[in-house]
Amino acid sequence: MSNKSAPVHPVRRFLIGSNIRRTLARAVVLGLLTAFILRYVWLPVRVRGVSMEPTFHDGAFHIANLAAFRFRAPARGDIVVIAMTGRRALYLKRLIGLPGDRIEFAGGALYLNGARVEEPYVRGSGDWTIPEVVVGPNEYYVAGDNRSIPWEQHTLGTVDRGKILGTILL
């Protein structure tokens, strides 16, 4: 009786390895890990709408990094994803105000604590004139980059910290 086992076809060996049980176990672990990462860490998102033009285009796919703010607080200028009633539809906005900030728009320009802020990422300055808001504790002020939309039709304003899930990775 020979100890030599029958030669395994290279394609079969490449696809299922030398031990099918181990390969299956690895596949299951890899699948679960991927599912976990794609749900809780790097969430694939598709942009719908034009409120973040020209930074983000309608229909484009991106990856949201849901772990970004576990290690640091959101900062001014960050692109943030915000949970609606759940995680299957999210807002994508730019963070322009931190807790305690005074935010105001006058004649299309953003004023932060009374000083005008240059926003190179903005499309069309528009003519937004929005009364001053003092951002509350544990709140942030967000707006889209496309200021050519009348502000009454644009979703902007203050949001609770707990609703900010993360930022855009890619």
Partner 1 sequence: MIVNIPSLSGILASRWGRIAVPAAAVLLVGLLIVFWRGRDARAIHRRLDELRELVSKDGEEKPLAQLAQTREVIEYFTPDAPIIVGSPLPALQGRQEIAALFHQARAVFRTIDVKIRDRALQIAADKLGATMDMTAEVVAEGLGETVREVREIRTNWVKQDGDWLISEVSNVETIRKPQPATTP
Q: Can you give the binding site for partner 1, defined by CB under 8 A?
A: 48-49, 82-89, 91, 93, 130-131, 133, 142, 152-153, 155-160, 163
Nearer to partner 1, 68 or 82 (CB): 82
Helix and strand element counts for the chain (H, E): 2, 11
Least separation in angstroms between residue 130's CB and partner 1 is 5
Nearer to partner 1, 43 or 83 (CB): 83
Q: Which of 22, 25, 23, 42 is nearest to 34 (CA)?
A: 42
Using a CB cutoff of 8 Å and minimum separation of 24, what contacts does 157-163 make?
157/133, 158/97, 158/133, 159/82, 159/93, 161/74, 162/138, 163/82, 163/83
Least separation in angstroms between residue 75's CB and partner 1 is 18
Question: In the block, which residue shows the tokens 């609703």?
Answer: 163
Structure tokens at 128: 């937004």
Nearer to partner 1, 16 or 87 (CB): 87
Structure tokens at 1: 């009786």
Nearer to partner 1, 108 or 157 (CB): 157
- Backbone phi, psi, residue 131, to 5°: -60, 155
Least separation in angstroms between residue 9's CB and partner 1 is 44
Least separation in angstroms between residue 141's CB and partner 1 is 9
Least separation in angstroms between residue 93's CB and partner 1 is 7
Residue 141 · residue 97 · CB < 8 Å:
yes
Nearer to partner 1, 12 or 116 (CB): 116
